[in-house]
Every structure is written in C-alpha cells, then in structure tokens.
Amino acid sequence: MALPDKEAAGLLNWVLGEFEDRHDHVEQILRDRFMQVQRYYNIGQGTSPVRQALIGSYFSHEYSPESAALFNPSIVPHPDQTGLPTGSLRFILSLRATGEGHISSIAFRTGTVNAKHRIRLTPPVPFLTEPAREPNGLYEKPLFARKLQEAGLHNDYCRRVLDQLRETFTLEDLRQALTGMERRHSDYSGIMAGSTARGILLLAESNYVVRFDPDSQISQRILFPSVPSQSNGIEDARFVRFRDDDGRYVYYATYTAYDGRITLPQLLETRDFVHFKFITLNGPAVQNKGMALFPRKINGLYAMLSRQDDENILLMYSDNIHFWQTPELLLRPAQPWELVKIGTCGSPIETEAGWLVLSHGVGPMRKYCLGAFLLDLEDPSRVLGRLREPLLSPNEAEREGYVPNVVYTCGALLHGRKLVIPYAMSDYATSFATVMLDELLGAMV
C-alpha cells in the first residue's frame, strides 16, 4: 500500500508479463485473491484495480498437484457420447493427484475406447484451474437438522438457531442466525455454545457446490481441498454412473476426506462434471475407507460396500444416500495374498451373471493385488463366485514407486465383453489392463 502508483503499476506489469501466458485470466485470479484476503487487513475500499491485483499476487503461488504422484483411478462413461464411431465409448478418468506436502486432490482425464478395445487418452492441458464456489447454494433445513443430530449437535442452542431459518437457507442466512444468537441470547455464552456454533458452521461449510467454467476442458479441472475436513487431502474417489428412479443418470463418487488426523468417507455428486456438490455422509457406518456405491437402487434402497473394520468387506443399505447405519459382513480374507485385509476397488459392475466387484488384497510384505468376486443381482448378500488367485499383481516394472509393491484401482468399466481396468502402480503412476469378462467369470469358484 505504501508503494507509489507508478512503481505498483510497474511491478504488476512484471508479474503479468511472467505469468499471463501460463494461466487464463491471471489478472482476474489475482484480484479475486485480493478480495479473499482484504478482510484480514485494514485496506481502504478505494484500492485501485492495479493495486488489488498486485496485492493478490503476494498472496498467490503456483502449486503442482500431480508432482509426486498420479494414481488410484476410476473410470465412467462420459456424459457426451456424440460424434463417435460405431462401437466406441468416450470415458472420464478420475485420478488421485498428489503434490507438495502429500496433499491429494481429484484430477481428470478423458479418452476413448474403440470397438477393438484400443484405449486412447486425450492429451491434457498443461495448467489447471480451480472451480468457483457457488455463493448462494441452498440447504434444506430438515436434512441439515438430521445431519446435526447424527453429529451429536442437536441441543437447545442448535434448535434455536434452526428456528430462525427458512425451510431452505443459504450459508449467509446461517451466519446471520449464529450472529443473532450471540447478540440476543447472552445466556448462550461459553464453551458449549461456542463449540456448537463452530460445529454447525463446519457442517454447513463441508456441504457446498462448486462450478467450473463450462468452456474449460475436463483435464483442466481440479478438485482441490478447500474445507477443514479435507485440509490434507481428497483421496481415492470412486466414481459411479448411478441410474435414478426416473431413468436419468447422475454421477456419484465416494471419497476420503483427510485432515491430517482423521479419515472420513464423504460424497461427491455431479451430472455434467461442471457443477460438483460436496456432501457429508452421516451415521455410525460412515468410517474408515473404501465405501463403494452400487450403480442403482436394489429393492428400493441404496446399497453400498464398505470396510469399517479395516479388514473385511461389508454390505449395507439405506433409504437415504446421506445416512448409513448398519453394515453386515459380506467377505473375509481367505487366500494367502489377502490375509492382512481386503477391500473394494470401485463400485460393483452389473452383468447378466451378477454384480462383478473388483477387490484388493494385502498380503506378505504389504503387497497389494487385485481380486474379484460376484454377487447375486437381487440379493447382493449372496456371494456367487470368487477368484482364488489374484487378477492382477505388480510385476517387476511396477514394483518401484512412492509405495512399492502395489497395484490398485478405484473403478473399472465394462465395454462390450471386455473389462477395462485403469490401475495405479506403486502409488505413483497409472496404467491400463483389460480382461475378457467371460474368462474372468469362468475363473471364479
């Protein structure tokens, strides 16, 4: 602020000259950054656009989200299948990108698989963009109240806050209600009220909507941690194309939010990969890693595979996708290559023979291999078949990496009679494998 106008303008020109060819709309990005930080400083409202952008540059830096690793992929059909040759399919690949400080985010690639099952990836753009958060996203009061209750926050203070809100409300409405409680109810002061208020606000901030520029390429988009529960990473998204009751498709992804101490399963929702809704999951079954949603309801209920005990695969149902209560044991480790623990590798895939599920097993020397099993279509608690030997094990070329001796996937895709499996090798890079569905099913016992 003390710099002369001429010097400030010269400095900004220097910054833009160095960075405007690397990023779209870089000057606007810097001004947006200024708007984020100005409330922490006594900066006059009359600050010029030049000085705003310059100050924003001092609070900005480039980050390479894929510099350490690009792994744990999942794959789903692209919403746009126009303009393709007969027998080809366009897909979206999600990946766990890890950069400096071991912070993980969700990156994307697109590609096609043709009638002869040849896989071609679209070259990615060199620089990524974050989405803008939708400022006026609406919360439904009954759902929000139930989430508060599940979180142990539904006390008298909480009820009085909710009484001030309409049936649908915004984050700003909630902030004003909390401020009003501080002003009007001096009896609600102290540690309990403060912790409840923080918990209410944290829940609201963890349920939000972001929006990318629809003209951007999918490989340009990055979902980077932006709330406290994700502060150390958004990990291992398992995307699935889910068929609603009305026949329309929506894409869900279960992912693990990590704040440096606690891992917490959460949910993403999108229909177009432009707008993404971040949703907290609630209930006693929401714990550990590896939750994988079935691609449609079964007997009127959502169904999910999970691993709450960090050893076995469990199955659970719910009438509300936000809440999960009572998982039941489905599979235990059985073979030597999976005796430490087993888990899911993405959402179940519907075939005429049953629900095909890729799994992972951990054996001696923490070696991760991929397996598979088959569940009954109408009653997934019935296991129809299971591989005795690994479907995929790390070979010599795949053993070295960030975490050695690991192959892992967060979802596969059935194209005709061939299963396309994107998989991570030793937690640093991603490759593809394919296998004929009939051969895979025939190898199960």
Question: Which residues are CB-neighbours of 255 under 8 A, at least 6 positions away?
Answer: 106, 234, 235, 236, 237, 238, 265, 266, 267, 268
N-terminal to C-terminal alpha carbon distance within the chain: 73
Q: What's the rounded Cα separation, in Å, for the pair 333 and 342?
A: 6
Residue 219: phi and psi, rounded to 5, are: -70, -10
Quickly tell me which residue has 């079964």 as its tokens.
Answer: 298
pLDDT in tens, 273-304: 999 999 999 999 998 889 999 999 999 999 99
Q: Which of 321, 270, 325 is nearest to 296 (CA)?
A: 321
Q: What's the rounded Cα separation, in Å, for the pair 231 and 233?
A: 6
What pLDDT, on the 0 to 100 scale, is given for residue 247?
94
Question: Is the pLDDT at 195 greater than 90, yes or no?
Answer: no
Q: Which of 351, 289, 338 is nearest to 314 (CA)?
A: 289
Could you confirm whether domain 69-131+212-442 is CATH 1.10.10.10? no
pLDDT in tens, 24-46: 889 999 999 999 898 888 786 78
What pLDDT, on the 0 to 100 scale, is given for residue 188?
57
pLDDT in tens, 152-189: 887 888 999 999 999 999 999 999 999 888 777 655 55
- State the helix-helix crossing angle for 191-206 and 171-184, rounded to 10 degrees: 170
The least confident of 63-72, 100-109, 256-265 is: 256-265
At 113, list the tokens. Answer: 């698989």
What pLDDT, on the 0 to 100 scale, is given for residue 284?
92
DSSP-derived secondary structure for 197-218: HHHHHHHHHHSEEEE--TTS-G
DSSP-derived secondary structure for 217-268: -GGGBEE---SGGGTTEEEEEEEEEEEPTTS-EEEEEEEEEE-SS-EEEEEE
Residue 24: phi and psi, rounded to 5, are: -75, 140
For residues 197 and 185, is the Cβ–Cβ distance under 8 A? no
In degrees, rounded to 5, the angle at the alpha carbon of residue 412 between the alpha carbons of residues 338 and 311 is 25
What pLDDT, on the 0 to 100 scale, is given for residue 356?
98
DSSP-derived secondary structure for 392-441: B---GGGS-SSSSSBEE-S--EEETTEEEEEEEETTTEEEEEEEEHHHHH
Which percentage of the chain shows pLDDT scores above 70?
98
Q: Where are the domains of the chain?
A: 5-58, 69-131+212-442, 133-206
Q: Any idea what DSSP says for residue 301? A: B
Beta bridge partners of 419: 414, 435
Average pLDDT value for the chain: 94
Average pLDDT over residues 342-348: 97
Beta bridge partners of 434: 420
In degrees, rounded to 5, the angle at the alpha carbon of residue 434 between the alpha carbons of residues 431 and 439 is 150
Average pLDDT over residues 147-154: 87
Question: Is the pLDDT at 191 greater than 70, yes or no?
Answer: no
Question: Is the pLDDT at 151 greater than 90, yes or no?
Answer: no
For residues 283 and 152, is the Cβ–Cβ distance under 8 A? no
Q: What's the rounded Cα separation, in Å, for the pair 97 and 73?
A: 10
Which percentage of the chain shows pLDDT scores above 90?
84
| Position 310 confidence tier, pLDDT thresholds 50, 70, 90 | very high
Q: Which of 270, 405, 423 is nearest to 345 (CA)?
A: 423
- Which H or E run contains 150? helix 141-150
Question: Which residues are CB-neighbours of 92 under 8 A, at least 6 positions away?
Answer: 75, 76, 77, 78, 108, 109, 110, 218, 239, 273
Question: Is the pLDDT at 109 greater than 80, yes or no?
Answer: yes
DSSP-derived secondary structure for 377-404: SS-TTSEEEE-SS-SB---GGGS-SSSS
Alpha-carbon distances of 235 from 128, 354, 422, rounded to whole Å: 18, 29, 16
